[in-house]
Amino acid sequence: MTIATVNVQLDADAARIYQSASKEDKKKIQVLLSLWLREFGMPSKPLQALMDEISDKAQARGLTPEILEALLDDE
């Protein structure tokens, strides 16, 4: 894996915490940030696909339009 250096602006408290962290903790933070940025860069599902997936799961668990309507009417 190739390593690159970037400058990231942080709020003062976060910067202080990072700067005072041990070498081992800094490495952990760097790994976590790398993983998070990779995940952030992955294309997300379109909203309609996500809504369809949620609907399919709800129906598979027994949610019917009538039950949903009754739940929404209770509010």
N-term to C-term CA, the chain: 53
pTM of the model as a whole: 0.54
CA angle 40, 8, 31 (to 5 degrees): 55
Q: Is the pLDDT of residue 75 over 70?
A: no
**Concatenated DSSP letters of 7-68:** -----HHHHHHHHHS-HHHHHHHHHHHHHHHHHHHSPPPPHHHHHHHHHHHHHHTT--HHHH
* Vertex 9: Cα angle to 8 and 11 (nearest 5): 135
Mean of all residue pLDDT scores within the chain: 89
